[in-house]
């Protein structure tokens, strides 16, 4: 596929995603998507692996069918499929992008094994944006939108969760650190992402230490 055609497809996808997610208040807005795209391309370049076009397009579209952002999973998938049909993509490219998007989600720790280097890169980029300072901000934005408390010490941390429990069980934004965010660094696929994650992981740990000090009224 010629570079000019690829660039045109990327520009169309950018416009589509901005329209679909531009006003999102859960931490899944256009700026999140753009950060994932840029981190994914960085990882792709540093690792010298994967198809940059597939990585970039999958990064841009990865939240379009997300069940958290649509009335149903089916509606979200139809939205993605309908859009991709308008692009000059081969059947194999559409299949590959769909597979990446379908398999990279955390799903309460119930994710599936990834089958391509592109999926591993996009997953790492998405997970990097869920940790560190940005990850903290997104966690509280999503928790507030979902109606969860900032913290409730009477709620137990869920160690094993089904997808239904992960999506709809009782939790808090602080609990989300232990149920997902602090686990992500050990679940990364690439050495580049692991290197980028180290300082972000430490920042979250420092944040929690300070949070508990203030919560308990310590000077």
Output the tens digit of pLDDT for each of the chain's 219 residues: 677 889 999 999 999 999 999 889 999 999 999 999 999 999 999 999 999 999 999 999 999 999 888 888 899 999 999 999 999 899 999 999 999 999 998 875 566 789 899 999 999 999 999 999 999 999 999 999 999 999 999 999 988 777 767 666 789 999 999 999 999 999 999 999 999 999 999 999 999 999 999 999 976
The string over 124-138, giving b where at least 16 C-beta atoms fall within 10 Å of a residue's C-beta and e elsewhere, is: bbbbbbbbbebbbeb
What does CATH list as the number for 3-215? 1.10.3210.50
pLDDT tens profile 127-161: 999 999 999 999 999 999 999 999 999 999 988 77
Instruction: Give CA 42 to chain center in angstroms.
Output: 16
Whole-angstrom distance, CA of residue 13 vs CA of residue 137: 26
What's the whole-model pTM score?
0.92
Give CB contacts under 8 A, 24+ apart, made by 106-111: 106/180, 106/184, 107/163, 107/166, 108/161, 108/162, 108/163, 108/165, 108/166, 108/167, 108/179, 108/180, 109/160, 109/161, 109/166, 109/180, 109/183, 110/161, 110/162, 110/163, 110/166
pLDDT tens profile 1-19: 677 889 999 999 999 999 9
- Nearest residue to 30 via CA among 69, 67, 4: 69
């Amino acid at each position: 596929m010629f570079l000019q055609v690829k660039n045109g497809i990327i520009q169309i996808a950018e416009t589509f995603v901005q329209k679909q997610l531009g006003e999102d208040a859960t931490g899944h807005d256009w700026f999140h998507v753009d950060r994932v795209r840029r981190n994914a391309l960085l990882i792709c370049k540093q690792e010298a692996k994967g198809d940059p076009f597939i990585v970039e397009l999958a990064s841009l579209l990865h939240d379009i069918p997300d069940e958290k952002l649509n009335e149903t999973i089916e509606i979200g998938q139809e939205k993605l499929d309908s859009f991709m049909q308008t692009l000059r993509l081969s059947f194999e490219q559409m299949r590959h992008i769909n597979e990446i998007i379908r398999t990279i989600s955390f799903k309460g720790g119930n994710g599936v094994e990834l089958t391509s280097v592109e999926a591993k890169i996009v997953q790492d980029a998405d997970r990097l944006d869920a940790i560190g300072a940005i990850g903290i901000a997104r966690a509280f934005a999503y928790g507030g939108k979902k109606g969860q408390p900032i913290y409730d010490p009477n709620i137990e941390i869920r160690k094993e969760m089904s997808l239904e429990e992960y999506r709809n069980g009782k939790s808090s934004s602080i609990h989300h650190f232990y149920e997902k965010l602090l686990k992500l660094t050990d679940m990364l696929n690439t050495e580049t992402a692991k290197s980028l994650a180290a300082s972000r992981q430490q920042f979250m740990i420092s944040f929690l230490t300070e949070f508990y000090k203030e919560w308990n009224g310590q000077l």
